[in-house]
Structure 1
Amino acid sequence: MAASSVNRALVYGGKGALGSTVVNFFKSKGWWVCSVDLFPNEEAQVNLIVDPALSWTDQESSILTKVEETLAGEKLDAILCVAGGWAGGNAAAKALVKNSDLMCKQSVWTSVLSAGIAAKYLKEGGLLQLTGAKAALDGGTPGMLGYGLAKAAVHQLVRGLGMDGSGLPANATALAICPVTLDTPMNRKFMQDADFSSWTSLEFVASLLFDWVTGAQARPASGSLVQLITKEGKTDLVTA
Structure 2
Amino acid sequence: MLNKTAIVTGASGNMGQAVVKKFLAEGYNVVGTIVPNDPAPFDIADDKLEKVVVDLMSEDDAEKFVHNVVTKYGTVDAVVATVGGFAMGTVANTKTSDIYKQYKLNFETAYNVARPAFVQMLEQKSGRIFLIGSKPGLSAVNGKGMIAYGLGKSLIFRLAELMNAEAKGTGVVTSVVVPSTIDTPQNRKAMPDADVSAWVKPEAIAAAIYFYCTPDAAVLREPVIKVYNNG
Superposition TM-score tier, normalisation by shorter sequence: 0.7 to 0.9
CA contact (8 A) 1:125 1:169 kept: no
Pair 1:136-2:120 in alignment = no
Pair 1:229-2:223 in alignment = no
SS at match of 1:34: strand
1 or 2, which has the higher helix percentage?
2
TM-score (norm 2): 0.84
Instruction: Provide the rounded CA distance (Å) in 2 between the counterparts of 1:228 and 1:65.
Output: 32
Per the alignment, residue 238 of structure 1 pairs with none
Q: Cα deviations across residues 104-135 of structure 1 (Å, max 9, x unaligned)?
A: 22210122113212223334221011011123
Instruction: Provide the rounded CA distance (Å) in 2 between the counterparts of 1:137 and 1:173.
Output: 19
- In the TM superposition, what are the counterparts of 1:202-221 in structure 2 within 5 Å? 202-217=202-217, 220-221=220-221
Instruction: Provide the rounded CA distance (Å) in 2 between the counterparts of 1:83 and 1:220.
Output: 25
- In the TM superposition, what are the counterparts of 1:1-240 in structure 2 within 5 Å? 6-38=3-35, 39=38, 41-43=42-44, 45-51=49-55, 56=57, 59-72=58-71, 74-93=74-93, 96-97=95-96, 99-122=98-121, 123-140=124-141, 141-163=143-165, 165=166, 170-217=170-217, 220-221=220-221, 224-231=223-230
1 or 2, which has the higher strand percentage?
1
SS at match of 1:209: helix
TM-score (norm 1): 0.81
Equivalenced residue count is 220
Q: CA deviation at 1:161?
A: 1.1
Specify every segment of 5 or more residues in structure 2 that has no aligned partner in the other structure, as ranges.
Answer: none
Instruction: Provide the rounded CA distance (Å) in 2 between the counterparts of 1:169 and 1:120.
Output: 15
Instruction: Provide the rounded CA distance (Å) in 2 between the counterparts of 1:82 and 1:169.
Output: 27
Structure 1 segments of 4 or more deviating over 3 A? 39-42, 95-99, 216-220
CA RMSD of aligned residues (A): 2.5
CA contact (8 A) 2:136 2:146 kept: no
Q: CA deviation at 1:217?
A: 4.1
Instruction: Provide the rounded CA distance (Å) in 2 between the counterparts of 1:120 and 1:189.
Output: 41
AA of the residue aligned to 1:202:
P
Q: Cα deviations across residues 171-194 of structure 1 (Å, max 9, x unaligned)?
A: 201110112211122111111111
SS at match of 2:18: helix
CA contact (8 A) 1:90 1:96 kept: no
Alpha carbons of structure 1 residues 171 and 70: separation in structure 2 relative to 1, 3 Å: closer
Q: Percent identity?
A: 25
SS at match of 1:36: strand
